[in-house]
Amino acid sequence: MGRNLVKNPNGDEDLEFWELTENGGSQWKVEDMPGDCGHDFGNDGVSKYFATSFRLCLKRQVINLLDEGYSAEALDEQPPVHITDWYCARTDCGCIYQITVSLLDENQEVIQEFKPEPVTLDPESDNCSWKEITHSFVEYGPGLRFISFEHGGQDKNYWDGWYGVRVTASSVSIEL
């Protein structure tokens, strides 16, 4: 696996490097583990997470792969691109998690996209501890130059405050 191309994946630098594409309700917030979610992460290197609110909160990074040191020739060989994200709910409020990761060409047009159905977590029927989502892009064609990573969600009960999904340890890596 290559290095993680997501800057500030855990909130250690507050919201630095993230573009807030939707910032509803009480807006995005960074909390210390285990915080209001009440769930330990299980990795000592992750001590913070991003918390969403009662209206949709989405944040995005667009990674310029040429600026990150990858050559156009190497990218045109279609190296596998791996993504990982971790999410959880509070124990007292259901929430919705969503993610969209897009491989983009030089004009930032979509080559291939990973956009699973949003996940609903309900503390009355689900284990709301940290869950991992992963995806690998392969055989996507030449032209990859950017990767857009966007994720977030909201709470299901529309409670004022930060009762929505929690996200942390986001990762995008290229296997050369």
Residues 167/87, Cβ–Cβ less than 8 Å: yes
Q: What is the pLDDT of residues 96-148, one digit of tens each?
A: 999 999 999 999 999 999 999 999 998 888 777 899 999 999 999 999 999 99
Q: Could you tell me if residue 12 is inside a domain?
A: no
- Taking alpha carbons only, the member of 76, 56, 58, 57 closest to residue 66 is 76
Instruction: Return the higher-pLDDT residue of 26 and 175.
Output: 175
Contacting residues for 77 by C-beta, under 8 A, at least 6 apart: none
- Is 106 a member of any domain? yes
Q: Are 85 and 151 in contact (CB under 8 A)?
A: yes
Domain of residue 26: give its range.
19-174
Answer whether the bond into residue 118 is a cis peptide, omega within 30°: no
Total structural domains in the chain?
1
The answer to the question of residue 5 being in a domain is no
Name the token pair of 176.
């050369």
Residue pLDDT, tens place only, 9-52: 999 999 999 999 987 766 899 998 887 767 778 777 888 999 99
pLDDT at 54 over 80: yes
Determine, yes or no, domain membership for 6.
no
Quick check: 114 and 65 in contact, CB under 8 A?
no
* Residue at 98 is within a domain: yes
Q: Looking at the domain assignment, is residue 103 inside a domain?
A: yes
Q: Which pLDDT belongs to residue 39?
A: 76
Q: How many CB atoms lie within 10 A of CB 80?
A: 15
Residue 11 belongs to a domain = no
* CATH, residue 127: 2.60.120.260
Within a domain: 7: no
**Which has more confidence, 91 or 49?**
49
- DSSP notation for 20-82: EEEE-TT--EEEESSGGGT---S-TT--EEEE--SS-EEEEEEEETTTTT--HHHHHT---EE
